[in-house]
Amino acid sequence: MDEKKAYEKKAQADLDLMQARLDELKAKAAKAEAQGEIDLQQQIKDLKAKRDAAQERLAELNKAGQDAWSDLKGGFSKAADDLKAALDDAASRLS
């Protein structure tokens, strides 16, 4: 498997894992008290936007040719890191 395909496969697995964490946070938010739920629902909305941005970067990466993909890799990595940090923050607030 070439480096681009291996990176794409890992990136998709990372996004899938973060989606599972987002789903878990949504379930916990549903159980939260009224005000906490309102705050958490906004945070989940923000997390979904970050997830969508990371997914868009991955789609761009998938469409890129062999020469251009390394330039796009940094954009995806930043979007994925932002999403992971936001998920970690949200999870810590629920603990």
Q: What is the enclosing helix (H) or strand (E) of 61?
A: helix 34-63
pLDDT per position as a tens digit, 22-65: 998 888 777 766 666 667 778 889 999 999 999 999 998 888 88
pLDDT per position as a tens digit, 15-26: 999 999 999 888
* This prediction's pTM: 0.69
